[in-house]
């Protein structure tokens, strides 16, 4: 599914914002993040600029915790969605654990105050160094993607005189009905161990005294529109969970992964947490394991915007191009996934045009929106690309030798610069 295919017709001329993005509202014709003017922040720190709302991070975290309170889930924030230290610190203060997929993410999570005992380490290609680092830190568990990885973790643990807790990632072969690049729970994907082979993998783990079987893990894909794939996957893994509970008393956790969708459009409905809870809670109770989840996008997606300044407005015989100073290196989701991001003016602006919003990068794929209805913006105006908090800055690059954007975190009436814009010197700092 192309994310753009979930399109609902644009609401003509309507200024209503994305339903879940409550932290971003117009006041007196100016866009605000909580109580801070987006335009003022852009003047102060320049553009392109990512702005995140701390209130949104807390709200989304609590929405999840409240919806699932009956089974007291362990919430591991998926750091890959947004690696900004200020964001992770805000969630750590709420009590979040972390789902990490590299030594670098583990380093960031620990530095931002996430206790090691609340970290799950996922990913298909963990190196020996990464495993050793995680063992020395004392993480909660590894989610293990293959038998060779089990052996490697056991070998590293043996060399360190440590014991590693493991949860095997099973592949339940459920169609998450999302973009093919982000579907991970189908049997064709590189992720996890097939359900049919999972018992054998657990027996391999049990044969190594350096390993402790801590749980079972899955992640179906991202973003998922509703609870159905989760329910289907839980039904598929329930017999395996019963077998695990009977054989391995240390097996306590059922990690359901992340993937909870968010609205990217004005008329899209938020992920129905009540329906999700109604589907998941009874199944988890029947299985009898402690629930863990790994939300990324759900927490940070609508916490963030990317602010860009219009550099030129250019017309050719076919189209109008609004050329801004943010590009595919800042936000790759539109060209990579065909993803849709609402684009709104920072100062409410009259008129309406249809235009492509493009960046300065030398690729035809460098666009933020195509054939989009926009107000009649001019050179110097500011635009906000909405719902950019997840997989935005985290996927940014230096392509075309562009320094990565600055990031700011707003909390009520306070704003802090969380990361400075990369300079040209930064671009060459690692070269020898």
- Please give the residue ranges that form the binding site for ligand PLP (CB under 6 A): 78, 81, 99, 122, 184, 219, 222-223, 257-260, 294-298, 390
How many residues can be counted in the chain? 432
Query: Which of residues 219 and 265 has its CB atom nearest to ligand PLP in the complex?
Result: 219
Q: Which CB, 194 or 315, lies closer to ligand PLP?
A: 194
Query: From CA 212, how far away is CA 301, in angstroms rounded?
Result: 35
Q: Smaller CB distance to ligand PLP: residue 366 or 407?
A: 407
Residue 89 burial by CB count (10 A; 0-12/13-18/19+): exposed, middle or buried?
Answer: middle
Least distance to ligand PLP, CB of residue 414, Å = 27
Residues with catalytic function = 362
Q: What is the C-alpha separation between 44 and 31, in angstroms, rounded?
A: 15
- In whole angstroms, the minimum distance from the beta carbon of 370 to ligand PLP comes to 24
In the numeric block, the tokens 């309406």 are attached to 352
The answer to whether 121 touches 134, Cβ cutoff 8 Å, is yes
Determine contact, residues 330/359, Cβ cutoff 8 Å.
yes
d(CA 75, CA 257): 10
Which residue do the tokens 């362990």 mark? 74
240: which 2 tokens?
Answer: 């395996």
CB of 425 vs ligand PLP, minimal distance in Å:
33
**How do beta strands 119-121 and 97-100 pair?**
parallel
Least distance from ligand PLP to the Cβ atom of residue 221, Å: 8
Whichever of 57 and 78 has its CB closer to ligand PLP, that residue is 78
343 in Cβ contact with 358 (< 8 Å): no
Residue placing its CB nearer to ligand PLP in the complex, 157 or 218: 218
DSSP letter at 422?
P
Residue located via tokens 């990512």: 50
Q: Please report how close the Cβ of residue 79 comes to ligand PLP at its closest, in angstroms.
A: 9
Task: Find the largest Cα–Cα distance for the chain.
Answer: 71
User: In this complex, which beta carbon is closest to ligand PLP, that of residue 99 or of residue 330?
Assistant: 99
Least distance to ligand PLP, CB of residue 365, Å? 22
Of 147, 200, 142, 191, nearest to 170 (Cα)? 191
d(CA 144, CA 191): 10
> How, if at all, do strands 382-385 and 304-315 pair?
antiparallel
């Amino acid at each position: 599914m192309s994310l753009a295919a979930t399109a609902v017709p644009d609401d003509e001329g309507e200024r209503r914002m994305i339903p879940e993005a409550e932290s971003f509202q117009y006041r007196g014709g100016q866009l605000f993040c909580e109580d801070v003017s987006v335009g003022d922040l852009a003047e102060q720190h320049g553009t392109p600029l990512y702005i995140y709302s701390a209130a949104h991070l807390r709200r989304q975290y609590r929405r999840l915790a409240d919806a699932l309170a009956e089974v007291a889930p362990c919430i591991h924030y998926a750091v890959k969605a947004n690696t900004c230290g200020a964001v992770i610190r805000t969630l750590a203060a709420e009590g979040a654990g972390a789902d990490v997929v590299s030594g670098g993410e583990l380093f960031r999570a620990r530095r931002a105050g996430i206790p090691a005992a609340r970290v799950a380490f996922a990913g298909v290609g963990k190196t020996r160094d990464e495993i050793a680092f995680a063992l020395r830190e004392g993480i909660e568990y590894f989610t293990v993607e293959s038998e060779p990885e089990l052996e490697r973790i056991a070998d590293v643990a043996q060399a360190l005189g440590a014991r590693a807790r493991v949860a095997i990632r099973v592949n339940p072969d459920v169609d998450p009905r999302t973009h093919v690049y982000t579907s991970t729970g189908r049997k064709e994907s590189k992720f996890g161990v097939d359900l049919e082979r999972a018992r054998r993998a657990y027996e391999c783990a049990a044969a190594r005294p350096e390993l402790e079987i801590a749980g079972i893990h899955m992640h179906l894909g991202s973003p998922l529109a509703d609870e159905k794939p989760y329910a289907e996957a839980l039904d598929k893994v329930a017999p395996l969970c019963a077998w695990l509970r009977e054989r391995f008393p240390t097996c306590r956790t059922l990690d359901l992964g992340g993937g909870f969708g968010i609205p990217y459009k004005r008329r899209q409905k938020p992920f129905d947490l009540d329906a999700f809870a109604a589907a998941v809670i009874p199944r988890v109770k029947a299985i009898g394991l402690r629930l863990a989840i790994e939300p990324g996008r759900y927490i940070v997606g609508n916490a963030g915007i990317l602010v860009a300044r219009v550099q030129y407005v250019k017309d050719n015989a076919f189209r109008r191009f609004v050329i801004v100073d943010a590009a595919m290196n800042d936000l790759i989701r539109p060209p990579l996934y065909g993803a849709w991001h609402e684009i709104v003016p920072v100062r409410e602006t009259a008129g309406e045009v249809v235009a492509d919003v493009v960046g300065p990068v030398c690729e035809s794929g460098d666009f933020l929106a195509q054939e989009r209805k926009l107000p009649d913006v001019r050179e110097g105006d500011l635009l906000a690309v909405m719902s950019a908090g997840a997989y935005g800055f985290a996927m940014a690059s230096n392509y075309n030798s562009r320094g990565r954007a600055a990031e700011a975190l707003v909390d009520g009436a306070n704003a802090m610069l969380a990361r400075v814009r990369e300079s040209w010197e930064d671009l060459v700092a690692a070269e020898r």
